[in-house]
């Protein structure tokens, strides 16, 4: 009997020891949980981002120091209040609509908005809102807001700088015309379209006559002015869909889709006519022009451009201030060769 009692006492002692250990573990766990909650509370209170929690009626149950400091309110001034009690109507309506959307969907959502701080400085914010259950089982809505004003300013400045770089790459700063890069890119496209649809495509090249003499006699400012004038005249004579570019130095190019050689020659004559009627001081502003068209087989847009270039230099050699069509130039060369052969 004593042995049986001894066993029972031993079992009771073990049970009590296990209970003590369990209570100790529970106490330690509770302490750790309390410490974690305290740490989380302090983190949320002191976070540089604004944080807040609202109950299922949209009333603030918590907000941190950053939230209070940004809005210039006391640390507990808005506790128990809803957005329509503390914000202007437009802002309150927007925040309430966001909250309802998040509460109904149960999903984490991102929102952007702008508000002024206590000093009247405009700030731009990115807010993440989500729901969770409190210790009492109520559905709560939490928000974490980051001030992205400087980040967006940097991104906008970078985008603006990229646009300027792109503009510099595609637009000639002096004349406002397209650059050679743009001209060649479009020429490749238009050449393929013209070939596929059996439509004419012409290239008109123009080069200012006596440009070096103009710079030497009157200075580079006079040369720049001549470039600007020609650029303006070309733009005024161009059509929608034409590509007018400064190809480099004093050379300009016009890419003329759906334009045959005769129509391209007419454009060149119009430009030269306008220039002849423009006062340019002691040295007239004239251009030599060359035209090439796909009405005759060309291997590529580069071939077409080369033909126009040959015609332009033929115009220079023929006395300047005139336009030469590449087909006429080739015919003239053949005729000269035939005459030379007959004389020999």
Q: Which residues are catalytic?
A: 250
226 by Cβ neighbours in 10 Å (0-12 / 13-18 / 19+) ranks as: buried
In 266-290, which positions are buried (b, 16+ CB within 10 angstroms) versus exposed (e)? Answer: ebbeebbebbeeeebeeeebbbbbb
State the Cα–Cα distance between residues 102 and 96, nearest whole angstrom. 10
103 by Cβ neighbours in 10 Å (0-12 / 13-18 / 19+) ranks as: middle
How many Cβ atoms sit within 10 Å of the Cβ of residue 44?
20
184 by Cβ neighbours in 10 Å (0-12 / 13-18 / 19+) ranks as: middle
CB 325 within 8 A of CB 261: yes
Backbone angles phi, psi at 178, to 5 degrees: -65, 160
State the Cα–Cα distance between residues 280 and 238, nearest whole angstrom. 22
CA 187 to chain centre: 25
CB 170 within 8 A of CB 182: yes
């Amino acid at each position: 009997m004593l042995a049986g009692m001894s066993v029972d006492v031993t079992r009771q002692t073990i049970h009590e020891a296990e209970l003590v250990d369990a209570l100790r573990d529970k106490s330690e766990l509770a302490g750790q949980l309390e410490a974690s909650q305290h740490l989380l509370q302090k983190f949320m209170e002191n976070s540089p981002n604004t944080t807040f929690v609202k109950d299922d009626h949209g009333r603030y149950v918590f907000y941190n120091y950053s939230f209070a400091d940004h809005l210039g309110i006391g640390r507990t001034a808005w506790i128990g209040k809803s957005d329509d009690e503390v914000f202007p109507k437009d802002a309150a309506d927007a925040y309430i609509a966001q909250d309802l959307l998040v509460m109904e969907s149960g999903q984490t959502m991102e929102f952007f908005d702008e508000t002024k701080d206590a000093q009247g400085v405009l700030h731009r914010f990115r807010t993440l809102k989500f729901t969770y259950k409190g210790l009492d089982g109520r559905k709560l809505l939490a928000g974490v807001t980051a001030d992205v004003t400087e980040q967006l300013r940097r991104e906008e400045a970078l985008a603006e700088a990229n646009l300027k770089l792109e503009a510099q790459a595609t637009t000639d700063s002096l004349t406002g015309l397209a650059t050679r890069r743009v001209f060649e890119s479009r020429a490749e496209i238009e050449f393929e379209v013209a070939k596929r649809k059996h439509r004419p495509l012409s290239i008109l090249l123009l080069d200012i006559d006596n440009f070096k003499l103009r710079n030497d006699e009157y200075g580079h400012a006079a040369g720049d002015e001549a470039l600007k004038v020609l650029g303006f005249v070309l733009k005024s004579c161009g059509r929608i869909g034409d590509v007018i570019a400064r190809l480099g130095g004093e050379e300009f190019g016009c890419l003329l889709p759906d334009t045959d050689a005769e129509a391209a020659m007419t454009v060149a004559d119009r430009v030269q006519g306008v220039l002849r009627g423009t006062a340019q001081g002691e040295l007239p502003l004239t251009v030599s022009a060359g035209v090439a068209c796909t009405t005759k087989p060309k291997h590529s847009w580069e071939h077409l451009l080369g033909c126009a270039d040959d015609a332009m230099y033929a115009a220079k050699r023929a006395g300047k201030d005139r336009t030469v069509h590449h087909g006429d130039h080739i015919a003239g060369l053949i005729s000269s060769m035939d005459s030379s052969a007959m004389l020999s």
